[in-house]
Structures are given as structure tokens and as C-alpha cells.
Amino acid sequence: MTSRVRRRTLLAFIGPSVLALALIGIGPLIFAIWTSLHFYNLTKLKQVHFTGLENYVTVLTDPIFWDAMGRTFLLLGIALPVQIALGLGTALLLHQPGLGFLKTLTRLALVLPMATTYAVVGLLGQVMFNVKYGVVNQLLGFLGFDQINWIGDPDNAFIAVVFWDVWQWTPFVALVLLAGLTTVPGEIEEAARLETKSWWKVLRYVQLPFLVPGLVAVLILRTADTLKLFDMVFTMTRGGPGNATEFISLLIQRVGFRAFDQGLASAQAIILLVITIVLSQIYIRVFYKEVR
């Protein structure tokens, strides 16, 4: 339930946040937009000039940009369903009665992946997936499989990235969904369980509506974060071998930080922002309809 309040009260509650974000965030954003409309290269500052939408055209017609976008969405398309499936499974397991100690242990263990610095995860990936002294290959050997060249092979490097993304964020999904499960009123759940033995039916008809907001949150956050994914991939593969793991943020970093073409990088980032906003709006419209 909401109520109308005096404008002063409203400003008092919301004002500081808006002010803080506006002051801190607006300046750089405007700078980014401005540079995206200019030729702006840090090592050629004497040649800064207005170029209008030229940077945007360059970006949108550059096959490398679309390759990187495609790769990023492929990553999202593979990693996200896996995270949701595993996360949901974990949440359901944790929602069951009994095994109190084990459940607490699991909840604690779930915090570990999220708490590890992303850049370190990448380096850990290098160590663990190393073709010679990596423990993953050693374990594969125990199970009777061949040694796999992870980081040196384009496809395997991609899989390694998917693996770490899943490792790091499934716990987040699991916790969000678990929280959603706890909001299902106990009586309804019990009644449903008395009616059917199928956990799937209980999930689909009783629990799902309560999980939707959490799912939407996960969708939006993971999409935004995958589009910004940088640290982990950079330290593990640098975007290689070749282009295999060059996701969109790595491309932007290459253009902005290595070639110093800030104008182009800004254009790429703005386009990325627009895409993220559009996708988020779609998620909200499509999914929240069910709840509202």
C-alpha cells in the first residue's frame, strides 16, 4: 500500500540518493557521450574534432564488434540457463526439511565463490586448467580421460570461461531463489504436497509465481554483469587464443585503454548501455506481467 505524502517528505527520503548518484555519475556519463561524438584519442589530443555519429557508424558496421557481441550473448545464453537450473536445484534442496547442519554448511560454502576477487578467479583458472600442471587435467586423468588443452584451444577456453562464470554466480542465483521459496506461504505449499507427489507440479503451480521476481532480478543483473565481464577473462586468457574469449568488455578495453581511442570506446559503451536497458525493459514487461 502506498500513500501520498508531502513533497518535502518525499524529497527528504529520496533526495540524497538521487543527488549522490546524479553528482557522481552524471559527469562521466556526459563525458562519455561527448567523446563518443568526437575523434578523441589520448595520444593525439591535438586532433580532437567533432565527428557526429561517425563513431557509432564505425562501431555498428564493424564485424569485430558484432563478433564480440555474439560471443558475449552466446556466453549469456549458455551460462545463464545453467546457473538458473543449478541454482534452482540448490535452492530446492536447501528448502527441504532436515539436515540442518549440512544446510548451514552449504549456505556458507555458497558465499565463497561470490566473495572471491574476479581477477583472482581468472588466475586460478590459469593454474587449475593449465595443460601440464593443472589439477583439472590431473583429475580427468584419474577418471580415465585424455588431457585437454584448455586455455590454448579456442573452444575449450570458452568453456573454461563458462565454467568459472557458473561457479561464481550460481550461488547468487541459488540464494535469491531460496529467498523466493521462503516467501511461499507454508499452508499453500503443504496443501499442494498433499495433493500431488510430483515435486515438479508443486514447483510449477505453487512455487513459481513467488520465484518470478527473483528470476527477473537475476536476469537483469546477470545480463548487465555479463556484458561488463572483464576481470576474470582478462587474467585467464586476455581474450585469446585468437579471438575466442574476446567478449565485449575486453574489446572496449582494447580500444579504449590500449589503442587509446576513447571516442570509439565510448560509442561502444553507449551502444552497450542501450542494449542492456532495452533488454531489462523486456524482461520486466514480459515477466512481471504474470505477477502484477
CB of 38 or CB of 134, closer to other proteins: 134
User: What cell does 266 get?
Assistant: 565510448
HSE (CB half, 13 Å, CA atoms) of 163?
17
Least separation in angstroms between CB 73 and other proteins? 15
DSSP reduced 3-state for 4 = coil
Among 136, 196, 188, which residue's Cα sits nearest to residue 167?
136
Least separation in angstroms between CB 286 and other proteins? 15
CB of 77 or CB of 154, closer to other proteins: 154
Please report the DSSP string for 118-178 in residue order: HHHHHHHHHHHT-TTT-HHHHHHHHTTPPP---TTSHHHHHHHHHHHHHHHHHHHHHHHHH
CB of 98 or CB of 144, closer to other proteins: 98
CB of 78 or CB of 279, closer to other proteins: 279
The separation between CA 234 and the C-alpha centre of its own chain, rounded to angstroms, equals: 16
CB of 78 or CB of 126, closer to other proteins: 126
The H or E element spanning position 50 is strand 49-50
Least separation in angstroms between CB 227 and other proteins? 7
CB of 78 or CB of 276, closer to other proteins: 276
Least separation in angstroms between CB 201 and other proteins? 17
Least separation in angstroms between CB 238 and other proteins? 6
Residues paired with 38 in a beta bridge: 50
User: What cell does 267 get?
Assistant: 560509442
Alpha carbon distance 246, 255 (integer Å): 12
Least separation in angstroms between CB 112 and other proteins? 5
CB of 108 or CB of 143, closer to other proteins: 108
Among 273, 237, 244, 271, which residue's Cα sits nearest to residue 68?
244
Least separation in angstroms between CB 191 and other proteins? 12
User: What cell does 249 get?
Assistant: 568488455
CB of 52 or CB of 97, closer to other proteins: 97
> CA Rg, the chain, in Å?
23
Q: Please give the C-alpha separations between residue 62 and each of 67, 117, 126, 253, 280, in angstroms, as whole numbers.
A: 9, 33, 31, 16, 25
Least separation in angstroms between CB 77 and other proteins? 19
User: What cell does 157 get?
Assistant: 577456453
